[in-house]
Amino acid sequence: MRTDEKRLDLKRWSGKKTQKPMTIVSAIICKNAIVIASDSRTTKEDNTIRDDTKKIHLVYLKEHFGFLVGQSGNDDLGARAVEIIADLY
Can you give the pLDDT of all 89 residues of the chain as single tens digits? 566 666 666 666 666 555 566 777 888 999 998 888 888 888 777 778 888 888 898 888 777 788 888 888 777 888 888 888 888 86
- Asked if residue 82 lies in contact with residue 57, where contact means CB atoms within 8 angstroms, the answer is yes
42: exposed, middle or buried (Cβ count in 10 Å: 0-12, 13-18, 19+): buried
Please tell me the pTM assigned to this model: 0.62
Residue spans of alpha helices (H) in the chain: 3-14, 75-88
**How far is it, in rounded angstroms, from Cα 27 to Cα 13?**
24
Q: In one letter, which amino acid is 33?
A: A
70 within 8 A of 58, measured Cβ to Cβ: no
